[in-house]
Amino acid sequence: MESFKQNDGNRDELIIQQQREIEKEISDTTPLVSEQLPLTCLWAEYNGDDIFTAKIQDLSTKYKFIRRTRPDGNCFFRAFAYSYLEYLISNSSAYQEFRKLAEESKDKLVQLGFPSFTLEDFHETFMEVIKRVSPDNPGGPSKVQSELHKIFNEQGYSDYVVVYLRLITSGKLQEEADFYQNFIEGDFTIEEFRHQEVEPMYKESDHIHIIALCTALGAGVRVEYLDRGEGGTVKAHDFPEGTEPRIYLIYRPGHYDILYPN
Amino acid sequence: MESFCIDRARRQLQLGEQMTTAASTSQHATSSSTLMAGSGSLATSSSASAATTTTPSSSAVRALAMEYKSLQEEPVEGFRVKLINDDNLFEWEVAIFGPPDTLYQGGYFKAHMKFPHDYPYSPPSIRFLTKVWHPNVYENGDLCISILHPPVDDPQSGELPCERWNPTQNVRTILLSVISLLNEPNTFSPANVDASVMYRRWRDSQGKDNEYPNIIRKQALAANAEAKREGIVVPMTLEDYCLKPTRKPTTESGLDANFYDDDFDLETEDDLPTDDDFDEDDDDDEDEDEDEEDSATASISKNNGGSSKCKNNGLGREAAAAGADDAESADDSGKGETT
């Protein structure tokens, strides 16, 4: 038993090493959240490919800017949090409502069985971030906006926000397990799925994550899908269906960035 | 099915030499070059964080400082923690007390916990310094428990995905999992195949084949003797085990021997399982069993590199002797062994 596949250990090491090099390259070249960029900067990525050129053209009739997030597996959560807080900065009543919801979310998660000791730490940081981007803070919206940008590029804060959103997502899946179980592929139980695909950092998000998070926070998201598909136009999908979107994201296979409508 | 742990074992053997050379200079190097597949953000600390003060490792420092402080102020039943060096939060020494009314009763198991720099996003690793013959502990003492594995898609591992690491896990939840793993080994993913086979033989024979419990009791006894030499009192009854000490260590020196709370009643030798207990059922094949036992024990120590040297602390012995006066007998009303 000990002797089969002797080289496995070495190969694993090489894979891990290579993965780390890729991660380092990404983190050296891509900030956690970028500045706003003109949407048309996407053209450069597709070298005049006809399908994509047409689709980006189509998209640019609806959106002016894009804000990139680092492709580290946390992009959906980071983009969601950034974009939603950005919306809340300019919407005081929605901000207050969300702040209350966020405040109360901790007790709910403790009830659902997360270890309160560590949960409290994540929650505290999450609340601190929310408070630092209050529309009522001195300096006005532009000052708060730049504070938001700064916070989200500080790994410590940025990642804690991601963790907390993952926990909220996981909590929602557990809370409505009967419903969400229907959307899980394979033999995973909802419990396994949460622990394996939702709670750990760097795990990519799927529709089920998006639906659970949007529902838990009452925040509508529109996702524009930019892929090789037929039709020349970009397809959009709203989560949860029929809700007015507050957050606009662009999805290219494997990655989410933030969009800014005209 | 064992491939996950076995591959890992091989990797660690290969890395063993690196680890020992690197350990003296910096634990950064080891944590990044070994176990933690998910520690991607380690690399990110050098990134565009010019304007920031918070790096991944300061997140880790913050989380660890918080956990450490909390465990000092409110120790959790069954274990104690301290830092190996006061100025390094990333390496802890933990002491696990064998739960009363189990094979491990009286045992005092020391281990090192090593935290990666992107903790709590990636899990720490645990290596026992005390000899532990257990299906999920490698011969070199490394513990293989799923809660300490990053969530990789590994259908081969034979582990339930629901037990994987996530950032809300912490030293408490880990050590509680370890304590329960002691008595409920995971034989689907053994790190020590011989121990696993022996454990299953014991379990499947309804306790008739008692080679496994004999080894465990013997190790618990040896570990208890070592604890005594260090002046540490191992709780022997459920009552003492669950006792939550209220006294906080007042000074830095409280982290040393005194830190292991002396509120626990000291037990006499009588309460410990003795060699007589070991051979209850196997008089017929005593010789054979002993041979196997010896070879098993020998193979455990093979990789242990003298890491469990006793500290022969004179003060400790005095303390132990002083405390012996008010020793109580073990709580006989407790549950039987969890077989």
Higher per-residue pLDDT: B81 or B35: B81
Of A10, A163, A191, the CB nearest to B167: A163
CATH no. of A35-68+220-261:
3.30.200.60
| Closest residue in chain B to residue A201, using alpha carbons only | B121
The mean pLDDT value for A111-127 works out to 92
Q: How sure is the predictor about B150, in pLDDT bands with cuts at 50, 70 and 90?
A: low
- Cross-strand partners of A236: A224
Write down the pLDDT at residue B283.
Answer: 44
- What is the total count of domains within chain B? 1
B214 in Cβ contact with B289 (< 8 Å): yes
Higher per-residue pLDDT: A60 or B15: A60
Q: Model confidence over B241-289: pLDDT tens digits?
A: 876 554 444 444 434 444 444 444 444 444 444 444 444 444 444 444 4
Of A20, A150, A154, the CB nearest to B40: A20
Write down the pLDDT at residue B207.
Answer: 82
pLDDT at B45 over 50: no
> B14 CB near a chain A CB, below 8 Å?
yes
Contact yes or no for A155 and B45 at CB 8 A: yes
Q: Kindly state whether residue B300 falls inside one of the protein's structural domains.
A: no
Write down the pLDDT at residue A98.
Answer: 97
CA dihedral B195, B137, B169, B100 (to 10 degrees): 60
Residue-number span of the structural domain to which B92 is assigned: 56-152+160-241
Q: Kindly state whether residue B267 falls inside one of the protein's structural domains.
A: no
Q: State the average pLDDT for chain A.
A: 91
Q: Kindly state whether residue B246 falls inside one of the protein's structural domains.
A: no
Tokens of B283: 């008089």
Tokens of B33: 């070059």
pLDDT at B143 over 70: yes
A77-81, A157-161, B78-82, B317-321: segment of lowest average pLDDT: B317-321
Strands A255-261 and A63-69, bridge-based pairing: antiparallel
pLDDT at A133 over 70: yes
Of A114, A150, A155, the CB nearest to B41: A155
B226 in Cβ contact with B308 (< 8 Å): yes
Write down the pLDDT at residue B90.
Answer: 95
Please report which helix (H) or strand (E) contains residue B111, including its range: strand B108-114
Neighbouring residues of A66: CB distance < 8 A, sequence distance ≥ 6: A36, A37, A38, A39, A41, A42, A250, A257, A258, A259, A260
Instruction: Give me the percent of chain A exceeding a pLDDT of 70.
Output: 97
Q: Structural domain boundaries of chain A?
A: 35-68+220-261, 72-219
| Closest residue in chain A to residue B37, using alpha carbons only | A16
CA within 13 Å, CB half, A47: 0
Q: State the average pLDDT for chain B.
A: 65
The mean pLDDT value for A177-206 works out to 90
Angle, helices A116-132/B56-73, rounded to nearest 10 degrees: 130
Residue identified by tokens 């529902």 is: A215
Q: Kindly state whether residue B174 falls inside one of the protein's structural domains.
A: yes
pLDDT at B25 over 60: no
Higher per-residue pLDDT: B251 or A206: A206
Higher per-residue pLDDT: B306 or A261: A261
Write down the pLDDT at residue A7.
Answer: 54
Instruction: Give me the percent of chain B exceeding a pLDDT of 70.
Output: 50
Return the amino acid letter for B66.
M
The mean pLDDT value for A73-97 works out to 96
Write down the pLDDT at residue B79.
Answer: 87
Pick from A173, A258, A167, A246: nearest CA to A207: A173
B186 in Cβ contact with B159 (< 8 Å): yes
The mean pLDDT value for B292-297 works out to 42
SS3 B83: strand
SS3 A256: strand
Write down the pLDDT at residue B92.
Answer: 96
A84-93, A182-191, B15-24, B127-136: segment of lowest average pLDDT: B15-24
> B65 CB near a chain A CB, below 8 Å?
no
Higher per-residue pLDDT: B329 or B133: B133
Write down the pLDDT at residue B289.
Answer: 44
Write down the pLDDT at residue B13.
Answer: 42
Active-site position among A123, A214, A255, A257: A255
**Residue B97, burial from CB neighbour count under 10 angstroms (0-12, 13-18, 19+):** buried
Contact yes or no for A155 and B44 at CB 8 A: yes
Contact yes or no for A23 and B43 at CB 8 A: yes
CATH code: domain of residue B180: 3.10.110.10
Show the DSSP H helices in chain B as ranges.
3-25, 27-33, 56-73, 171-183, 193-204, 211-229, 238-242, 275-278, 286-302, 314-323
CA within 13 Å, CB half, B176: 11
> A16 CB near a chain B CB, below 8 Å?
yes
CATH no. of A72-219:
1.20.1300.20
Q: Residue A143 to residues A140, B255, B263: CA-CA distances in angstroms?
A: 6, 47, 56
pLDDT at B24 over 80: no
Of B32, B49, B151, the CB nearest to A155: B49
Pick from B148, B182, B184: nearest CA to B166: B148
**DSSP secondary structure string for all residues of B223-283:** HHHHHHHTT-PPP-SHHHHH----PPP-SGGGGSGGGS-TTSPPBPGGGS--HHHHTSS-S
Please report which helix (H) or strand (E) contains residue A19, including its range: helix A8-29
- Distance from the Cα of B249 to chain A's closest Cα (Å) equals 21
Tokens of B184: 């409920």
Count CB pairs under 8 A between chains A and B: 136
> B167 CB near a chain A CB, below 8 Å?
yes
Contact yes or no for B40 and A2 at CB 8 A: no
Write down the pLDDT at residue A171.
Answer: 96
> A114 CB near a chain B CB, below 8 Å?
yes
Write down the pLDDT at residue B146.
Answer: 81
Strands lying side by side in the sheet with A63-69: A33-38, A63-69, A255-261, A247-252, A221-225, A235-239
Q: Model confidence over B106-136: pLDDT tens digits?
A: 899 999 999 998 899 989 999 999 989 999 9
A213-227, A228-242, B14-28, B223-237: segment of lowest average pLDDT: B14-28
Tokens of B70: 């909390």
Contact yes or no for A9 and B10 at CB 8 A: yes
Q: Kindly state whether residue B323 falls inside one of the protein's structural domains.
A: no
Write down the pLDDT at residue B9.
Answer: 43
B112 in Cβ contact with B122 (< 8 Å): no
DSSP state of B142: B
The answer, as to whether pTM is greater than 0.80, is no
- Cross-strand partners of B116: none
Q: How sure is the predictor about B163, in pLDDT bands with cuts at 50, 70 and 90?
A: low
Question: What span, in angstroms and rounded, lies between the C-alpha atoms of B102 and B252?
Answer: 34
